[in-house]
A and B are shown apart, each in its own frame.
Chain A
Amino acid sequence: DVKVTQSSRYLVKRTGEKVFLECVQDMDHENMFWYRQDPGLGLRLIYFSYDVKMKEKGDIPEGYSVSREKKERFSLILESASTNQTSMYLCASSSPGTAVYEQYFGPGTRLTVT
């Protein structure tokens, strides 16, 4: 089974802090994604990566950056956390080799910025 793990389930940070969210997958997937999930808005793509050291902006990249130094690990960075970044953050991975595209998700990190 594909396993996607995220470093924390719950996180509380103060405004202005630098925040790191880590995601690791064990299926050698090329693609990795960061989404945020908010009530009434569904999932919105923040950033994705289709290879080591490669990254692409998603729909809402402002206020975030990412790092992918190893294939299995994809980090989301909030350079200076703000209260409007309080949300559930979901990491996902996939392989472009499959004919039908599907993503495998981690359990999520619920981040609260006070």
Chain B
Amino acid sequence: GNSVTQMEGPVTLSEEAFLTINCTYTATGYPSLFWYVQYPGEGLQLLLKATKADDKGSNKGFEATYRKETTSFHLEKGSVQVSDSAVYFCALSDRGRSGGYQKVTFGTGTKLQVIP
């Protein structure tokens, strides 16, 4: 079955540091890949996405590139801010459908704490 593995946290960085959160996946076929973010006390919200190999998703200064050869989708940001403190989830969506539903598989989440 499908699976998503992401680095364990928490990750603690100083403001303006470079961020990398690793994510690798196992899937049959050609999944779409996502990063979701969960700010304290809130639900998840989509941060960025990529649908095919070599696609780069980007949003709010975050980027991730769909690497089929290494089955990876690492999240990066050049200069983090305190407001980026949150839990980040890597996820994939299988394009096979069953009753109109595409299953989404989530990683376990990585907590990021940015200190001033």
Residues of A within 8 A of B (CB): 4, 30-31, 40-43, 45, 48, 50-51, 54, 56, 90, 92, 96, 99-108
Contact = CB atoms under 8 A, between A and B. Distances in A.
B66 interface: no
B107 A96 contact: no
A92 B43 CA distance: 9
A50 B102 CA distance: 10
Given A42-B89, A43-B106, A100-B51, A106 B100 contact: no
Interface residues of B, number: 26
B4 to A, nearest CB: 8
Interface string B43-57: 111100101000000
A100 B32 contact: yes
Interface of B: 32, 34, 36, 41-46, 49, 51, 89, 93, 95, 97-104, 106-109
Contacts of A56: 98-99, 101
Contacts, number: 61
B100 A30 contact: yes
Contact of A96 (B42, B43, B49, B102): B102
B56 to A, nearest CB: 14
Contacts of A50: 99-101
A30 to B, nearest CB: 6
A103 B36 CA distance: 10
B34 A90 contact: no
A59 to B, nearest CB: 9
